[in-house]
Structure 1
Amino acid sequence: MFIQPWDAALDDAEWQTWVAEGHDFGILSVNGLPGHPPAVVPTHFTVDGTALLVHLARPNPDWKAIEADPNVTFTVTGDCAFIPGPWRAKPDVPATDGVPTSYYAAVQFTCQAGIIDDPAAKAELLRRQMAHFQPDGDHAPIDPDQPPYARMLPGIRGLRLDVTEVRAKFKYDDHKPVEQRTDTARRLTQRGTALDVPTAAQQLRRLNRIGTWKS
């Protein structure tokens, strides 16, 4: 992932807060077996200290690739929108000469994957995930020796992704003039399709922290 200086996270707290605000679905990328392309698996995840917790169905064919090479990447993206060229045109050129772009936030984790097959450890992983996704506790006790999970746990395998590097990108034209970024956020809010409104919120958040970009 290419990151321009003005697109970089301002500090670790920025990307950590962004992930914690509900960006808990991403793409697990695994090196392919010889002669095969990389494997890409969409899945929810939970943060556990310096690791990500994931579980996948046991029949998933990508387990062989993970076992062969535990070096994986996990990518989370969101708050994205297409920005038309006229919105970005400089004042002294025709609006149709403006160059379009994409706005988005992305956090990319480089990880070492550890497979979890022990029933008790899988149950603990699920308890941690359910504490995040169903904090009201409206589910049966996750016990590897009691129904219903005693029957279901053999159908999954757990993954602990120990994070070795984090690269975060917030691409919202922070190197452009304040007036232009403010106007783009207004246009996004006015257009209001797909993720336009949260994208505008990210742009304004960054603008309030950065102001005029200084290299």
Structure 2
Amino acid sequence: MLIHPWDASLDEAEWQTWIADGHDFGVLGVNGPPGRPPAAVPTHFASEPGHLLVHLARPNPVWEAIERDPNVLFTAFGDYAFIPGPWRAAPDTPPTDGVPTSYYTAVQFTCRATIVDEPEAKAELLRRQMAHFQPDGDHGTIAVGRPPYGRMLPGIRGLRLAVTDVRAKFKYDDHKPVEHRTAVADHLTERAQGLDVSAAAQQRRRRDRVGPWKP
């Protein structure tokens, strides 16, 4: 992932806050067998200090690849929007001369995967995930041999992804003048399609922190 200086996370707290704000879905990328392409699996995840927690169905084809090479990449992304060319045209130039781009946030975790197969360890991984996704506790008991989850545990395998590196990108034209960023954020709010509003919120937040870009 290419990260220009103006797209980089301003500090670790920025991407950590973004993840904690509910960005808990992404794509797990694993190296494929020799001569085969990599595999990618969309999935929710929970996080704890230094680790991501994932579980997948036992029939998922990625297990062989992970057993062969536990070095994986997990990418969470969101707050994305397409920015049409006329919104980015320089002053005193025809709107059609503007070059379109994409806005988005992406956080990539380089990880070393450990497969979790022991029943109680899987149950504990699920409990930690449910503490994140259903913190009110409005779910059945997650315990080996007890319904409703006990009978389902053999059908899944868990993954503890030890994070070895994090690269975060906030691509919102921070190298452009403040007035330009403000105008584009206003366009996004007015269009209000897909994730336009959340993309505009990220752009305004970055604008207020960065101000005029200084190389």
TM-score band w.r.t. shorter chain? over 0.9
Distance 1:150 1:90 in 2: 61
Give aligned pairs, total.
Answer: 215
Distance 2:85 2:146 in 1: 59
Distance 2:150 2:131 in 1: 19
Distance 2:97 2:61 in 1: 48
Partner of 2:200: 200
Secondary structure of the 1:147 match is coil
Partner of 1:116: 116
Ranges of 4+ aligned residues in structure 1 off by more than 4 Å: none
CA displacement 1:5-35 (0-9 Å, x = unmatched): 0000000000000011010000000000112
Partner of 2:171: 171
Partner of 2:19: 19
Partner of 1:29: 29
Distance 1:150 1:95 in 2: 61
1:1-215 equivalence runs, <5 A: 1-215=1-215
Secondary structure of the 1:170 match is strand
Distance 2:61 2:73 in 1: 17
Distance 1:7 1:13 in 2: 15
Letter in 2 for 1:153: L
CA displacement 1:106-159 (0-9 Å, x = unmatched): 000000000000001000000000001111111111111322222110000000
Q: CA deviation at 1:167?
A: 0.2
Distance 2:98 2:84 in 1: 8
CA displacement 1:186-214 (0-9 Å, x = unmatched): 00000010000000000000000000000
Distance 1:108 1:118 in 2: 28
Q: CA deviation at 1:48?
A: 1.2
Q: CA deviation at 1:92?
A: 2.4
TM-score normalised per structure 1: 0.99
Distance 1:181 1:80 in 2: 15
Gaps of 5+ in 1: none
Secondary structure of the 1:35 match is coil
Distance 1:167 1:210 in 2: 19
Distance 1:147 1:96 in 2: 61
Distance 2:98 2:150 in 1: 59
Letter in 2 for 1:35: G
Gaps of 5+ in 2: none
Identity in percent: 73
Secondary structure of the 2:67 match is helix
Letter in 1 for 2:21: E
Secondary structure of the 1:197 match is helix
TM-score normalised per structure 2: 0.99
Distance 2:117 2:174 in 1: 45
